Structure 1
Amino acid sequence: MSSPYHALKDAGDVMYVEVQMGTQWIKHKDGIAWEESGQLHRAGLCHGVTGRTGGVSPAPYHSLNLALHVGDSVSCVLENRRRLCAHLGCRLDVLTTPQQTHEDHVIAVGDSEIGRGAGSYHDAFPHTDALMTSRPGVLLLICIADCVPVILYDPVKKACAVIHDGWRGTASRLASKTVFAMQTVYGSQPRDILAFIGPSISREHFEVSEATSDIFRHMGPAYDQCVYKTADTVCVDLWQANQQLLLHAGLLPQHIDTTTHCAYQDEQAFYSYRRDGGHTGRMAAFAMIPAI
């Protein structure tokens, strides 16, 4: 039996726009949109990274702000979350999300953790930047506005994860640690895991200090190559760094899809913490194993 997520697509509720090899932009008639990996979609995972349109939040959060901690009206955020859940064919009370603090903690979501953070930021998992689960019908969600979202799916063991990877999380190798956590908890083999690195700030707009760039240089030669220096600036390519983390964790290169969408550059489609001076909304990276 097909999931509600696939049934909605079959009903003509969305249109597809190809944006690059391996990923596609999904836009609904009400304006809600997200980018997803073709590989993860074909493997059966409901997932994506949302844009900013199709919600009810007023400026400066206009319009699909999905975060409860940025100063937006709680009622607006909950309505936005309900709208997203309706497109995914799930209830709001299965949405599960953390309080993201740029650390390297990974939480496995089981029956007793389902719904944490769905309606209250204070109920979300503290000090956590990655969630994983093998439970069907559980919507894992992280909020982003420049930081890199990484979505993982093991179609063999039926386990998925969502990761919030800013430069601190990337420097602490959070993506690799999440792969290891999936190996430990679910018995996943890295060669089976599929990955999507989603819309976030691109190298061209992620200027950093020399001290920050040195952190990446000291991670090893592969990460030193993620630092780009000109006469005036030093920038870090977080997409490239996360690709390296996944490769070093054992993922196959052909199993990694990477966006070409820069959140900073495309103001109409995405929020950007850096571009908007810190006063803005948040997109969401989500993943849900459809219930049979």
Structure 2
Amino acid sequence: MSLELIHSPLLNRYKSIVHFTTTINGGVSSGNYATLNLGLYSGDLPENVMENRFRLAATLGLPLENLFFPYQTHEDKVCVIDEAFINLPKEQQSELLNGVDALITNIPSVCIGVTTADCVPILLFDPSTNVVAAVHAGWRGTIADIAAKTLNKMIRIFGCCLDSMLVYIGPAISEEYFEVGDEVVLAFENAGYDLSQIQRVNTETNKSHLNLKKANQIRLEQLGILSSNIDMSDICTYKSSDMLFSARRQSVNSGRNITGISISNNLL
């Protein structure tokens, strides 16, 4: 059972990890969720989502219980999936994953990921320590510095190195389609972002458009990650109706893509 997945050319060079962004194809859901919806909290039938997740697990060659996706709330909480977490009962694991927008692990054969339908998914991988992370960065999470907080936690807990850190900024809504109100623009300005680098004003509508992927790229580079170690996807979720879910295009009751990463059990 194999699904159609999107990969980063940069991360593809490393055999010690498996990574992906799912597409809409290969599942059992229907309507706005057709067909590979992987979001349990999107309004789809739970049994369809679980079947879709089972298909993803089978494609990855992992048991379903080794897939960890948090209940995201557009904030800045980061959870570490370590041995202590793995040994907890499923109920306690679910509690700890509630309100989390980023995951970190160093355990092989454990897949961590985030669900998106326009927000920015970010994967971090340090080949020097074999530690990985998955980050959900919507505009609120970007302002809350979720990517930086995840990176700092990787450094603090696992001794990860900025010089070797690799980043994949996955498919998300593009600047062309991410129209925002003045309050969002002001929020980015107040958070210290240089609007000249991430904002474009549509002269016909006088509305602002923001480049969320670029905002996260700039922030990570400011922290010391080499620009050559960042791979930013040019795929737009809104525009790619044949490939990806988009809440702005389909409404909030739409499917969710997953961008995930796993350390291989056969490190090469």
The residue number in structure 2 matching 1:270 is 244
Which of 185, 188, 196 is 2:160 aligned to? 188
Measure, in 1, the Cα distance between the counterparts of 2:151 and 2:69.
19
* Aligned residue identity for 2:102: A
Are residues 1:52 and 2:24 paired?
yes
* Aligned residue identity for 1:60: N
Are residues 1:83 and 2:51 paired?
no
Which of 39, 55, 61 is 2:10 aligned to? 39
Q: Check conservation: 1:216, 1:224, Cα contact below 8 A.
A: no
Measure, in 1, the Cα distance between the counterparts of 2:73 and 2:187.
19
Give the secondary structure class of the aligned counterpart of 2:163: helix
Q: Give the alignment of 1:105-254 within 5 angstroms.
A: 105-114=77-86, 125-220=97-192, 222-231=194-203, 232=205, 233-254=207-228
Stretches of structure 2 lacking an aligned partner (at least 5 in a row): none
Measure, in 1, the Cα distance between the counterparts of 2:161 and 2:97.
27
Cα offsets for 1:94-147 (capped at 9, x unmatched): 111211000001111112323999899965611110000011111102111000
Change beyond 3 A, Cα 1:86–1:181: same
Q: Check conservation: 2:85, 2:93, Cα contact below 8 A.
A: no
Change beyond 3 A, Cα 1:176–1:272: same
Give the secondary structure class of the aligned counterpart of 1:191: coil
Measure, in 1, the Cα distance between the counterparts of 2:231 and 2:97.
28
The residue number in structure 1 matching 2:254 is 280
Measure, in 1, the Cα distance between the counterparts of 2:149 and 2:44.
32
The residue number in structure 1 matching 2:234 is 260
Deviation at 1:218, TM superposition (A): 2.8
Q: Alignment length, in residue pairs?
A: 263
Measure, in 2, the Cα distance between the counterparts of 1:35 and 1:49.
5
Give the secondary structure class of the aligned counterpart of 1:203: coil
Deviation at 1:46, TM superposition (A): 0.5
Measure, in 1, the Cα distance between the counterparts of 2:5 and 2:213.
18
Task: Work out which structure has the larger RCO, using CA pairs closer than 8 Å and 6 or more positions apart in sequence.
Answer: 2
Q: Check conservation: 1:116, 1:125, Cα contact below 8 A.
A: no
Change beyond 3 A, Cα 1:83–1:194: same
Q: Check conservation: 2:120, 2:137, Cα contact below 8 A.
A: yes
TM-score (norm 1): 0.85
Q: Which 4+ residue blocks in structure 1 deviate beyond 4 angstroms? A: 115-124
Are residues 1:72 and 2:44 paired?
yes
TM-score (norm 2): 0.92
Change beyond 3 A, Cα 1:116–1:61: farther
Cα offsets for 1:225-265 (capped at 9, x unmatched): 21111332101100110101110121100000011110001
Q: Check conservation: 1:170, 1:242, Cα contact below 8 A.
A: yes
Change beyond 3 A, Cα 1:115–1:224: farther
Q: Share of identical aligned residues, percent? A: 35
RMSD: 2.1
* Aligned residue identity for 1:281: G
Cα offsets for 1:48-72 (capped at 9, x unmatched): 1111111011112100000111121
